[in-house]
A and B are shown apart, each in its own frame.
Chain A
Amino acid sequence: DADVTQTPRNRITKTGKRIMLECSQTKGHDRMYWYRQDPGLGLRLIYYSFDVKDINKGEISDGYSVSRQAQAKFSLSLESAIPNQTALYFCATGRKSTGQGSLRETQYFGPGTRLLVL
């Protein structure tokens, strides 16, 4: 079974609709992230959470909201979808470890949700 799952895997919606993307993890990690990937732009961080109820804005949070009600779940909402939110969305979890006296984090990514906003 996959450790980080995302639903749906593909979604087509219309401008103005509200949609929610779900992410679940069985890794037991406290940290969770939402990224979007666009061709030629790489990965950009939307929101992240270091614990239940902890929410932090990333680089491109406008037009998005998130909810972290449980350690294992982190959902991303588009309140009113617009075409330039068409992208590939990834959820990730983060595992911290300490090495050489510094913090290191390994991120584990879900398979992605492909979203098309018409």
Chain B
Amino acid sequence: GEDVEQSLFLSVREGDSSVINCTYTDSSSTYLYWYKQEPGAGLQLLTYIFSNMDMKQDQRLTVLLNKKDKHLSLRIADTQTGDSAIYFCAESIGSQGNLIFGKGTKLSVKP
């Protein structure tokens, strides 16, 4: 079945880069997503990438996609304490585009 895997925790120092990794199983996924969940809140779409792209950059965020290895990563440059949150990777599956979420990576940013 479909599965999305992420490491559960990542700790970085303020100002460093953070890299959150994700692997997925459905090679037919057309879109892959990163969602952010701040403490006490619901998830919010951060960015997405279409499967025929290998990189997408949006200000401090860089998404890299290796479709051959089914590996997705999110890089946050100059990480700030406000970036502390849980980050979820998700893939869209099937003709209806339902989302399968990973378990989430909790990013802790130390001053």
Contacts and interface: CB of A to CB of B under 8 A. Distances in A.
Contacts of A102: 30-31, 50
Interface stretch (B11-19, B39-47, B67-75): B39-47
Contacts of A48: 98
A41 interface: yes
B42 to A, nearest CB: 3
Nearest to A58: B98
Interface residues of B, number: 24
- Category for how many chain A residues contact B: 20 to 34
Given A41-B103, A100-B52, A105 B97 contact: yes
Interface of B: 8, 30-31, 35, 40-45, 48, 50, 52, 88, 92, 95-99, 101-104
Interface of A: 4, 40-43, 45, 48, 50, 90, 92, 96, 99-100, 102-112
